[in-house]
Amino acid sequence: MVRRYLRLFGVQLKASTLQALQYRVDFFTEGFTSLCWTFTALAPLFVVYGGRPEVEGWSFGQALLVVGWFTLLQGILEGAINPSLTGVVEHIRKGTLDFVLLKPADAQFLVSTQRFLPWRAFNVLTGLGLFVYAFSLLGHGPSPLGLVTSLVLLCTSTLLLYSLWILTVSAAFFVVRVDNLTYLFSSIFDFARWPSSVFKGVARGALTLVFTYVIPLALMTTFPAEAMLGRLPMTSLVGAVVGSLVFSWVARRVWIRSIGHYTSASS
């Protein structure tokens, strides 16, 4: 079963890559544009740290690690998660989800892997480049344990992002148009470019609690950065793993129940 789905995933990825390479100029233009947006997004960081050695316990180099994680996850979100799941909304609206539900494979897997944008890999490479630059500023590299821990958190962060998108897309079975909801989620995700402790002065720390437990942005970028710096408590690591598994379980249950409200084009 696992080999079958891995082979199916490979076929879907190959089809998306070949489709993107049909227009090579567009492929490299989109990649260059992604790089420009990434470096433009660094401007607020330079403004905030202008003349300040650190903000809420984070130096410029340490905060750059958070931005690196944000950039890396943004590449995964916009290259692997968003394109496929945005297409689900169109399927539901037009009543063409029947073609997916009738195929002999799990519907959630099929709709989650139907389209990829390979040029967003530039964001992933840029995130890795930011890690190298940040550690050159800090004067030391991550510990082997920190690297292993951050790789575990990369898996949990990707699972959290995917689960949040499944929950968002599931709303389309009830309200059809969820464009504003997806835009709202993208805007909220922008807060993940900052260390979560930066928000502890807002509304008596309520925003930090929201970004840690309700919309777990801190688990996606701040925790991995702290793991790289070797200062993430083991309890936080366990909480991130358990939290991501709970989120994915809830998202799966919501998706299954939402399909029951689907009205096809032939109904």
Average pLDDT rounded to a whole number, residues 42-48: 79
Average pLDDT rounded to a whole number, residues 31-54: 76
Q: Identify any residues that bridge with 58 across adjacent strands, giving them in sequence order.
A: 55
Please give the pLDDT value at position 245.
93
pLDDT tens string 228-238? 998 888 898 89
Question: In b/e form, how buried is each residue of 228-261, taking b as 16+ CB within 10 angstroms?
Answer: bbeebeeebbebbbebbeebbeebeebbeebeee
Q: What is the pTM of this model?
A: 0.84
Q: Is the pLDDT of residue 267 over 60?
A: no
pLDDT tens string 98-151? 877 888 888 888 888 888 887 777 788 888 888 999 999 888 888 888 889 999
Please give the pLDDT value at position 152.
93
User: Nearest to residue 198, comparing CAs of 42, 58, 41, 72?
Assistant: 58
Which has the higher per-residue pLDDT, 213 or 130? Answer: 130
Please give the pLDDT value at position 203.
63
Q: Using CA atoms, how far apart are residues 212 and 142, in angstroms rounded to an integer? A: 24
Please give the pLDDT value at position 50.
77
Average pLDDT rounded to a whole number, residues 177-196: 76
Q: Is the pLDDT of residue 262 over 60?
A: yes
Burial class of residue 130 (count of CB atoms within 10 Å of its CB; 0-12, 13-18, 19+): buried
Q: Using CA atoms, how far apart are residues 38 and 250, in angstroms rounded to an integer? A: 32
Q: What is the DSSP string of 197-211?
A: GGGGGGGGGHHHHII
Looking at 6-10, 195-199, 204-208, which range is the least confident one?
A: 204-208
pLDDT tens string 151-176? 999 999 999 889 988 888 888 777 76
